[in-house]
Structure 1
Amino acid sequence: MARLSSVFAALVLVPMLLASSAAGEAVVELADGRTVAGQIDSRTDQQSLWLQRSAQNVWLSVPYAWTDVAAIQIDGESVKRDQLLAQLDNVAAQEPKVAVPGESDTQVVPLPTTEPYTQRATSCSFAAELANWDSDVEPDGYLVAVTVYDQCGVSMAVRGTLSATLVGEQTDNRGVAVEPVELERWSDRIETAQFTHGPAVFRLPFRQIRPEVDLAICAGAILQVEVGAFGHGRMASSAAVPVRGFNPIRDVFQQQTGSRFFRGERSAPTGSGRTDWAARTGFEAERTLP
Structure 2
Amino acid sequence: MVSATVGVDLRDGGRWTSLHLGGAEWLWAGPGLVSGPRTGRAVFTDAGGLDECFPTVRGTPDHGGLWNQVWTDDGEWDAVRWDDVVLRRRMNGGTRPDAAPLAVPRADTGAVWADYELTAPPGYQFVWAAHALLDCAVGASVDVPDKTACRLYPDEGPWVEGDWSSTLSTYGPSDGTAVGAVLVDCPSATVRDRGMALTFELSCPGQPVSTAVWRNLEGFPAGAPYRSLGVEPMLGRVFDLAEAGPGDAAVVPDGGRLTWRLVVSARPA
Point out the structure with max Rg over C-alpha.
Answer: 1
Higher helix share: 1
Between 1 and 2, higher relative CO (CA 8 Å, sep ≥ 6) is seen in: 2
Same fold (TM over 0.5): no
Higher strand share: 2
Q: TM-score range by the shorter chain?
A: under 0.3
TM-score (norm 2): 0.21
